Structure 1
Amino acid sequence: MAKRHKHPEYRAAERALVAELDLGDRALIPIRSLVECSLVRLFWEDWKRSDARDPKWIAAPGDHEEPELHRVDGWPEYGDGTVERKWSRRARLWMSWFSIDAWHVCDWFINAVSDGEPWLWNLDDAGYPEKLMKCGNLQRLVNEATKGLRQRNADLARQIVLGPTDEHFIHDLGAGHTLVQLCSRAALRKEGALMHHCIGQGGYEDLLDDPEVLLLSVRDPEGSPLATLDIRSGYIRQFCAIANAEPSAAIKDLVVGAADAFGWQDWRDRPDFRADEQDYGHEALVILRDLPPLRRRGGLGFIPPANTSS
């Protein structure tokens, strides 16, 4: 691949975003160079444009009348570590706004490398895949990912035939909908192919034998998947519809009953939750909004270093 960006803060930005993607080495290592020349590049360019307007504060996307402002300069008054704080903060914010798109792109990369797609070897003069370098913004990259995954996943799903032990019914959601547990590698692969996300790409197989982990699928009356849930020790870690999109209100309402029946809780309410880890869990707030008790957390507030006062 080409030479790395020479800006002194670029590596810190790259490390921060890669950490927030939270893919795991098995998924990340084969695609890291692709992530660096696409998502990291766009992440960096987004923040350079933002810095040209205001290097200290940014308004959350979509806020108009009274935008929520976030401080993004790294709190230099706290001394050493300003650059790391700055880019860690920015990566967390960027992923809170664009995580669905970022993970969708990573799913595409994982599949492309696995299948040896020809575009991977069509490189520009700098050594990067031309298909990626032509994408000047995140939406164009997402569009390429959607096109790349659509036919591949449809073909794969048709090839996978499941047996009686691959999935297990666990709950009636009402109106003909059901909740099933994905119990085998084949079940994960088929779910991932139909839902266009990464559950079938190997990173979740090691969790199949973990009694504290439930990998679940919401099914319509015909048995087609509508959403996928990742439950760890009774906490909702992820809940996504097709292509990692947010589930519809109707699907969320279906899952509320299951959350009540099984006592699932918000991922961020775990006793060992760290404020600096990937902020999963807004899905849990949506599902659990009518179930007491629910501790509603604030936004992505900065937590100053331990040796300083807030």
Structure 2
Amino acid sequence: MSTADQGVSAMKYTDDEKIGLKVLLRELDAEPMRMVNRTVPELISESVGRLFVKWSRQVDRDIAAGNGAPLPCRDLGRFEDIMQRWLLRTDAFLGQYQYELVEIIDWLLLAGAEHHAWLLRVDDQGRPLKLMKCGTVEALYNESQKAMRGRHSPRKTLKDLTRADERHVVDLGAGYTVVELLTPDALDVESARMRHCIGHGAYDANLGHPGFHFYSIRDADGQPWATVATSPRLVDDVPTVVVRQFQGPRNSVPEPHIVELFNNALDDILPDEMPSTTSAPSARSVGRF
């Protein structure tokens, strides 16, 4: 184990950070995972949770050095203020690493369910060495991919998609185009390219229902710059299609010029009308994929 990784594994949490860790585990809904294996929440805490605290400390250092703006926080009483701050940090962390965390937690659940041998190789505090050697989310993600290799069907790539999966919608100008994503395979490929979670079946049920559309904004080389999702909504009692989510890579804020180009062509992109009734599932009230 490297010196850097030893430093990570030996880190101690402050009382404040312990609250943050509890907030993260709650947001990940870790406790019910004990039904798979009673240690899964601890595995998540020792891996994702530890790296969340490390990430949070870097946020504090950046703010202290003037390299980052403080995350917004309401002026509440002490405990409420602490909880609000950790909720905001958890949301930012999950937004940045959501794609990787889906894979990591799937791996930990499988390891717990199948009692993988590496769970028994632990340090002097009973923590699995395989997890403690990982000093970044990317390192954890790579471990998950090595472990899951061969267990899944090969994932589709852009080369595997056909005109049945994607449809050209409109040219935006400046070399950008809008492509509609029509199938689960198209959503999975977009998810892998953009490092967010529009794939993995999360939105498949909405495909083909009136008002639900998924678009990819791409440059002249076919590289995606933003993913857009629409959903049906009643506006003044009139069924209308609205933009529900508009996200850049890793659920980042899209570049302003991308947003402007898309908005300028909105009338050419969105359907002209909505049916008065629809069997579509309820829209998800989330701010990111």
TM-score bracket, shorter-length normalisation: 0.5 to 0.7
Aligned-pair distance for 1:226?
3.9
TM-score (norm 1): 0.54
Contact 1:160–1:190, Cα closer than 8 Å, also in 2: no
Of the candidates 46, 51, 57, which is equivalent to residue 37 of structure 1?
46
> Where does residue 157 of structure 1 map in the other structure?
156
Deviation sequence 1:56-86 (CA, Å, 0-9, x none): xx96834645975679799447xxxx3x652
Cα deviation, residue 149, structure 1: 5.5
Amino acid at match of 2:261: G
Could you say what secondary structure the match of 1:157 adopts? coil
Match of 2:202, SS state, is coil
CA distance in 2, matches of 1:60, 1:104: 25
CA distance in 2 between counterparts of 1:176 and 1:119 reads: 51
Indicate conservation of the 8 Å contact 2:171/2:177, yes or no.
yes
Q: Does the 8 Å contact 2:170/2:179 carry over to 1?
A: yes
* CA pair 278-109 structure 1, distance change in 2 beyond 3 A: same
Q: Does 2:216 match 1:217? A: yes
Give the TM-score normalised by structure 2. 0.58
Residue type at the aligned position of 2:180: Q
Q: State which of 235, 240, 250 in structure 1 corresponds to 2:248.
A: 240
The Cα of 1:135 is off from its aligned counterpart by: 3.0
Aligned structure 1 segments of 4 or more residues deviating by more than 6 angstroms: 7-11, 70-74, 113-120, 150-153
Alignment-mate amino acid for residue 122 of structure 1: W
Q: Does 1:16 align with 2:16?
A: no
- Which of 106, 109, 113 aligns to 2:104? It is 109
Which residue pairs with 1:227 in the alignment?
Answer: 226
In 2, Cα distance between the equivalents of 1:71 and 1:194? 30
Look up the match of 2:5. Answer: none
- Which is further off, 68-77 or 232-241? 68-77
256 and 163 in structure 1: CA distance in 2 versus 1, 3 angstrom threshold: same
CA distances 1:234-277 after superposition (whole Å, capped 9, x unpaired): 24524122xx164774xx5234221233279xxxxxxxxxxxx9
Matching residue's letter, 2:134: C
**Cα distance, 1:254–1:42 mapped onto 2, change above 3 Å:** closer
In the alignment, which residue of structure 2 is the partner of 1:61? 62
2:261 corresponds in structure 1 to: 257
Query: RMSD across aligned C-alpha pairs, in angstroms?
Result: 5.1
Q: Would the alpha carbon gap of residues 184 and 38 (structure 1) be closer, same or farther in structure 2, given more than 3 Å must change?
A: same
Separation in 1, partners of 2:192, 2:207: 18
User: Between the two proteins, what is the percent identity of the paired residues?
Assistant: 24
The one-letter code of the counterpart of 1:93 is R
User: Does the 8 Å contact 2:188/2:198 carry over to 1?
Assistant: yes
Query: Structure 2 regions of 5+ residues with no counterpart?
Result: 1-13, 233-241, 270-284
Q: In structure 1, how many angstroms separate the alpha carbons of the residues matched to 2:157 and 2:110?
A: 17
Aligned match of 1:132 = 131
Q: Is the 8 A contact 2:96 2:252 kept in 1?
A: no
Does structure 1 conserve the Cα–Cα contact (< 8 Å) formed by 2:176 and 2:218?
Answer: yes
What is the rounded CA distance, in whole Å, between the counterparts of 1:66 and 1:163 in structure 2? 44
**Is residue 95 from structure 1 mapped to residue 91 from structure 2 by the alignment?**
yes
1:92 partner amino acid: L
Report the secondary structure of 1:156's partner residue: coil
**2:207 corresponds to:** 208
Separation in structure 2 between the aligned mates of residue 76 and residue 168 of structure 1, nearest angstrom: 52
State the 1:106 CA deviation: 0.8
2:193 aligned partner, one-letter code: L
SS of residue paired to 2:155: helix
User: Does the 8 Å CA contact 1:35/1:106 hold for their aligned counterparts?
Assistant: no
Contact 1:173 1:255 in 2 (8 A): no
Please state how far the C-alpha of 1:196 moved relative to its aligned partner.
3.8
Which structure has the larger Rg over C-alpha atoms?
2
CA contact (8 A) 2:104 2:140 kept: no
Distance in 1, Cα, partners of 2:126 & 2:188: 32
Counterpart CA distance in 1 for 2:286 and 2:82 is: 16
CA 1:45–1:61: 2 relative to 1, 3 Å: closer
Alpha-carbon distance in 2 for matches of 1:111, 1:157: 19
* Count of paired positions: 240
- Give the equivalent residue in structure 2 for 1:288: none
* Gap runs ≥5 in structure 1: 1-6, 51-57, 265-276, 282-310
Local SS of the residue matching 1:192: helix
> Letter of the aligned partner of 1:43 in structure 2?
F
Alignment of 1:49-88 (within 5 A): 61-62=62-63, 64=65, 75-76=76-77, 82=79, 86-88=82-84
Q: Hey, what does 2:180 align to over in structure 1?
A: 181
Partner letter of residue 247 of structure 2? F
Code of the residue aligned with 1:237 in structure 2: it is Q
Q: Which secondary structure state, in structure 2, belongs to the residue aligned with residue 190 of structure 1? A: helix
